[in-house]
Chains A and B, each alone.
Chain A
């Protein structure tokens, strides 16, 4: 009997192995280690607890994803470890464990996910669960998601779940449904039409018990959205409107006003030329599965900042983050390539990108003469949709020219003019509007096959806040494996302390693996994600980052 059992087990074992052999395993890994060094110039030391200097001196973050897929089935887990979390990460990341696991299968057109999942409806302004591992943002759902396509061109999605809050989950339940129809696919008559139209609608509801002794808070909060996308040859147009019923919360100071968001964008492009414009208005649209949360915690939706996302170091000193309680703004961008052989184009052509964006407050009027705007327990305020508020939050104009001179030499020149209402965006009490001008010159020179040197010179000038900055960078790369870089940021216009932030770094890449080592100082700064910004303290130290995937 015993032997029979062993035999069966052995058999099923190898059967299992054979069944699995047609499937695939894949995964990835990232780990960041940092040794912190005391730095008196930055006031970054043990004597100054507010500087955030970690008494551990050594901090490490890491995660790995493992996914198994076979035919229409997949399953995966993620392990995360914060021992302890690197400086600048939300303090909720403490410890280690399995933070993500799911199973998904697709049968007869029905797609089922149980466990953790990410999701986005339309533009995401009503619902978006996503992750930015390097910023510590993760609002994944834990629950059930179904996707089904009942007819050609018709797509339905529904989900129920609770959201991730570091190593815990929020108590609020989220129930959501979304439908989208591609008219040209659904109706045969339209299949040949040159104009393509997509329509979509969503409904999202959250539930959280009301235990507030003073106010009668809504336990169920509903929200709906409708959207359309039209494409006609080189033209694209998209619009989405979201409405949320009253949702008193910590972020809106517990007012009972309904919320709205509207976003539209249009573009025209052909080879060598592209232009896009976008407009949005957001009114009391902070949406979370727990009403008392703030920062980046338990956010259900995504309200994009309609401003240019910069990559140069000095251009990220004053980043815009959506003000979810109310803002309205515009953005326009032009992309153009001067053709080869023209006066400006020269032998290789020249690229141009110009961008303009602005953001203003929305109009806010008191509900009656006795109630100040945004008073807790009231309707908060009234707002004229077509009226722009008095306060300017942000404005920016930028232009970038890129030019290849010959086979070895390339230049990119950038100019950025920014008006940044620091009191409204990041709550700087004493700086108000910060006006800055930034110029960047980037040069790339190919020394010989596979060997290149890249330099950046950046200058930021402003009379406000920390004054002028100068930045220089030189990077040497040997394709496809090595890089070495040295850079320095110098805040020479600062009236209090003229600080330098030098960094040395080197890296090695092979296939999907990457090792990067750096030693130096990090400036204090604001990092924005999902419309919420967070402060990262100044620090000094040695860091090692390893990533890999298979």
Chain B
């Protein structure tokens, strides 16, 4: 009995330890393109350069602040690190049709997708937005951050430089 218990504990602990060691890959989930087409997150691609995935919504003020701030320095970031920013809107039907005009009206140069029923948000365990992920060349999540304070983009940039 003791040994049984021992083996169970052994497998349980190795299960937890091993599963925790690695960086999680970005999940494969169906979302929608800005044209309304079904697309899978597997298509996220940046020629083995880092990708930033940022969750936002048209009604979320700090989200707009974060994307505005990144938008202002985006050209420099791209030149220096090759990073690409993907902005995922969790607006549902109430605001979904306003997402493209809103993002364009803000003059944001990002790739935009819609996660209207929060499937991707759920798969990534996002509690609240804004929430930003940094993916390495293998599309593994190497860093993430919740909420946005003025200047937070500098911390994100330092993390991008580490890759």
Contact = CB atoms under 8 A, between A and B. Distances in A.
Interface of A: 6, 9-10, 13-14, 16-17, 20-21, 23-28, 30, 65, 67-69, 118-120, 123-125, 128, 130-131, 134, 155, 180, 182, 185, 196, 198, 229, 231, 236, 238, 263, 265-276, 278, 302, 304-306, 309-311, 333-337, 349, 351-353, 444, 446, 449-452, 454, 477-480, 483, 509, 511-514, 547-550
Interface of B: 3-4, 7-8, 10-11, 14-16, 18-20, 22, 24-25, 27, 34-38, 58-61, 92-98, 100-107, 109, 116-119, 122-128, 131, 143-147, 149-152, 154-155
B25 A24 contact: yes
Contact of A196 (B35, B60, B123): B35
Contacts of A509: 145-147, 149
B98 A333 contact: yes
A275 B101 CA distance: 6
A322 to B, nearest CB: 9
Which 9 pairs across A and B sit closest by C-beta, in order of nearness? A335-B105, A274-B101, A13-B11, A479-B151, A452-B150, A21-B18, A265-B97, A28-B125, A304-B94
A13 B7 contact: yes
Contacts of B103: 269, 274
A23 B151 contact: no
A449 B153 CA distance: 12
A480 B98 contact: no
A67 B27 CA distance: 12
A286 B126 CA distance: 30
B150 A446 contact: yes
Contacts of A26: 24, 124-125
B94 A306 contact: yes
Contacts of A351: 105-106
Given A271-B107, A337-B105, A337-B107, A69 B10 contact: no
Contacts of B93: 123-125, 263, 302, 304
B151 A449 contact: yes
Contacts, number: 216
A109 to B, nearest CB: 12
Contacts of B27: 69
B25 A236 contact: no
Contact of A10 (B10, B25, B116): B10
Chain A at the B interface: SS class? strand
Nearest to B117: A120
A435 to B, nearest CB: 24
B125 A271 contact: no
Nearest to A510: B145
6 contacts: A6-B7, A17-B15, A30-B127, A263-B93, A333-B98, A446-B151
A274 B98 CA distance: 9
A276 B11 CA distance: 56
A417 to B, nearest CB: 19
Contacts of B145: 480, 509, 511-512
A275 B143 CA distance: 36
Given A26-B125, A477-B149, 6 more contacts: A6-B3, A9-B8, A182-B38, A196-B37, A450-B151, A452-B150
B146 A6 contact: no
Nearest to B18: A21
Contact of A511 (B25, B94, B144, B154): B144
B105 A309 contact: no
Contacts of B14: 14, 17, 21
Contacts of A236: 34-36, 97, 100
Given A21-B14, A28-B125, A480-B145, A273 B38 contact: no
B94 to A, nearest CB: 4
Given A25-B19, A480-B152, A198 B105 contact: no
Given A311-B60, A452-B150, A547 B128 contact: yes
A483 B34 CA distance: 34
Contact of B8 (A13, A185, A272, A336): A13
A68 B125 CA distance: 12
Given A13-B11, A120-B117, A547-B128, A20 B104 contact: no
B118 to A, nearest CB: 7
Contacts of B150: 444, 446, 452, 454, 477, 479
B72 to A, nearest CB: 8
Contacts of B3: 6, 10
B24 to A, nearest CB: 5
